[in-house]
Amino acid sequence: MGNSPFIVDLDESNFEQTVLVGSGQVPVLVDFWAAWCQPCQILMPVLARLANEFQGSFILAKVNTEQQPAITAQYGIRSLPTAKLFRDGVPIDEFMGALPEAEIRSFLERHLPQMSDGAVAQAEQRLLANDRAGAMDLLQQAKADDPASPQVVAAIARLQAADGNLDAAEQSLAELPSAAQENSEVARLRARLFFDRIALDAGHPEAIADRLGMAADDCAARFQMAAHQVLANDIEAAMENLLQVLQQDPKFGDDAARHALLSLFEMLGDDPAVGRYRTRMFNLLH
């Protein structure tokens, strides 16, 4: 274990260079442990095996908490074992306890660069060169190599949706394993497809605007306009229209406005607007 180039014992002399500087090049997983801690002894060989298996995709850096109290105190370690993952000098995620190897592997794979990332980047370059067929060929090959990659499948689905093939895009996402269905990129794309389908069925936005000009209480037209606004990235206008539909007819389209707002919230993630509009939606419903 001590001879591995991917495993480092930390102290105050090398912490900054290994973790704070080094994590700008490659993620660094810092394992806080102690000799008396039995779960630490269980976790340690698992982390070492993964560090060697991943061959430099991350560095495992070990802190003996009894010998390095200053580092331990600096990061507020109160439970052992604790593992913190650093990127660009800051901790971005952590886990505590001797987790099963499968859970640790999943934790790492959420943050580490994947081979498929390169294929997605190359496909994006092909798209910029207007080579849609070449981009799809690259992505399909990457999918064959890594069928569970949410990044690759999401890229395929985006391209299918851009070509107007929404059924194929939805089917691509549906084929992902259940664990990958929770990926934030996949969830956002699924929400986007929801609005793509509404807008596709709605007709031209100018015609919808004419309908609203003649009847401002036309909930169907306002709902369709919101979908077009989402696709035009006019998100707040879309949410205003959906709230107006919700206010005029809370049960319109079998609760369609509320479902659309929830899809938008999922698309936006941690955008500050989500909190404001979620509160307004809640107030309208209660």
For residue 38, pLDDT over 70 is answered with yes
Instruction: Answer whether residue 11 is part of any domain.
Output: yes
| Average pLDDT for the chain | 91
Same domain, 13 and 94: yes
CB 169 within 8 A of CB 161: yes
Same domain, 210 and 148: no
Q: Which of 128, 148, 182 is the last residue of a domain?
A: 182
Q: Token pair of 52, please?
A: 């060697």
pLDDT bucket at 74, cuts 50 / 70 / 90:
very high
Range of the domain at 121: 115-182
For residue 2, pLDDT over 80 is answered with no
Pairing between β-strand 59-64 and β-strand 28-33 as defined by DSSP bridges: parallel
**Picking from 19-33, 89-103, 170-184, 198-212, which range would have the lowest pLDDT averaged per residue?**
170-184
Give the CATH number for residue 145. 1.25.40
Instruction: Answer whether residue 191 is part of any domain.
Output: no
Annotation says 219 is catalytic: no
pLDDT bucket at 177, cuts 50 / 70 / 90:
confident
Instruction: Answer whether residue 211 is part of any domain.
Output: yes
For residue 72, pLDDT over 60 is answered with yes
This prediction has a pTM of 0.57
Q: Which of 8, 40, 44, 157 is catalytic?
A: 40
Cα separation of 28 and 7, whole Å?
10
For residue 185, pLDDT over 60 is answered with yes
Residue ranges of E strands in the chain:
7-9, 28-33, 59-64, 82-87, 90-96
Same domain, 135 and 98: no
DSSP state of 16: I
The dihedral sign for the CA sequence 141, 146, 147, 152: negative
First-to-final CA distance of the chain: 60
Q: Which of 37, 60, 186, 227 is catalytic?
A: 37
Burial label for 103, CB within 10 Å (0-12, 13-18, 19+), is exposed
Measuring CA to CA, which residue among 40, 30, 16, 7 is closest to residue 85?
A: 30
CB 199 within 8 A of CB 166: no
Instruction: Answer whether residue 223 is part of any domain.
Output: yes
For residue 1, pLDDT over 80 is answered with no
Bond preceding residue 81 cis, omega within 30 of 0:
yes
**Picking from 12-16, 20-24, 121-125, which range would have the lowest pLDDT averaged per residue?**
121-125
Q: Name the amino acid, one letter, at 160.
A: Q
